[in-house]
Amino acid sequence: MNYNAEELSSFVEKKRDWLLKTSQYYGRLKERCGGCEPGTVYFLGSKYRFNVVKDRLQSTIVSGAMKIITFHVTDRRTYRRQMQDWYREQTVKIIAERLPTLASKHNLHYNTVSIKNQKSRWGSCSKKRNLNFNLLLAAAPLEVIDYVIIHELMHLVELDHSPRFWQLVSSADPEYRKHKEWLASYAPVIKIG
């Protein structure tokens, strides 16, 4: 494509304020939560570098001490799919361990639980009492994961986000605002590879 230099210059000048504002926003975001540079992912609230190694068998090794996750893959072209599957497995384990305890503590009963690749939600609750959780939830710290579980459990009592709903959430998780803020701050950088 051929672009006229004057038109490009004019376009940049017209969008100058927006470009500066956007650049500053992403600069603050990176500063606030450490950014998600290429080659990094989040797991249980910590940032990890990741490596992809071609191997005969698929496996994933997490080194907490070195903050590295190594994905052994049979085909390097499909490593993102393996990362997605790994996140799903981790989220399934965490939800299976924590959801029944939290539901029992608040005497709440749900039907089915699904782990989904949701684009803009950490969780949801249907009128049929089915709970859904984002497969990337394992990227968050455990107390934040508990907040998401509590949030969805409280929808079993109050389906909307009314003051009564937030009162229920607050009684179950007094620090819910801090946890909600963590999700808002880190959501833009939590992704697969």
Nearest to 193 by CA among 82, 64, 63: 82
The answer to whether 75 touches 84, Cβ cutoff 8 Å, is: no
Nearest to 42 by CA among 82, 87, 76, 95: 87
Q: Identify the pLDDT of residue 167.
A: 97
Give, for all 193 residues of the chain, the pLDDT tens digit: 667 778 777 877 887 887 777 666 655 555 554 444 558 889 999 999 988 888 898 888 898 889 989 989 888 888 889 999 999 999 999 999 999 999 999 999 999 999 999 888 899 999 999 999 999 999 999 999 999 999 999 999 999 999 999 999 999 999 999 999 999 988 888 877 6
Q: Identify the pLDDT of residue 40.
A: 86
pTM for the predicted model, two decimal places: 0.79
Q: Identify the pLDDT of residue 37.
A: 54
Residue bearing tokens 């997605």: 84
